[in-house]
Amino acid sequence: MIASIGIDLCEIARMEKLLQNGRFLSRFFSPEEQAYITGKGNNAAQTMAGIFAAKEALGKALDVGITADIREISVLHDGNGSPYYTLSGEYARLAEDRRISAFFLSISHENGMAAAVCVAERNG
């Protein structure tokens, strides 16, 4: 059953500026995310905006926002390019405490914005 939903928007131009600051990338993104973002070339800022929005959307779905190390929310991609979450630390504990069994993620980009929707599922 659906437990909650979170959504977020992120301006791509904002991420374009922040992408030039390597400190921002390492402060907010896991090593795997950093490699994925930088590997996107001209689409790096768009990709970074989508991943950042996805992290914010998960925080909203958990009803806590970003209250711990945001790198504990990692957005990875499967062999087909579909995004998914892996959680560690405080966010993994929060999901367990709320009996969340799965998260579903969709990311989209259009007209200078990236959007992400996170659906949290609870079994039982």
pTM value surpassing 0.75: yes
Contact 13, 111 (CB under 8 A): no
Q: Report the alpha-carbon distance of residue 11 to residue 114 in Å, rounded.
A: 6
Q: Is residue 15 classed as helix, strand or coil in its secondary structure?
A: helix
Can you give the pLDDT at residue 21?
A: 79
pLDDT above 70: residue 124: no
Estimate the crossing angle of helix 44-61 against helix 12-19, to 10 degrees. Answer: 110
Domains present along the chain, CATH in parentheses? 2-122 (3.90.470.20)
Backbone angles phi, psi at 84, to 5 degrees: -150, 160
Q: Report the alpha-carbon distance of residue 40 to residue 109 in Å, rounded.
A: 14
Share of the chain above pLDDT 70, in %: 99
84-102 per-position pLDDT tens digit: 999 999 999 999 999 999 9
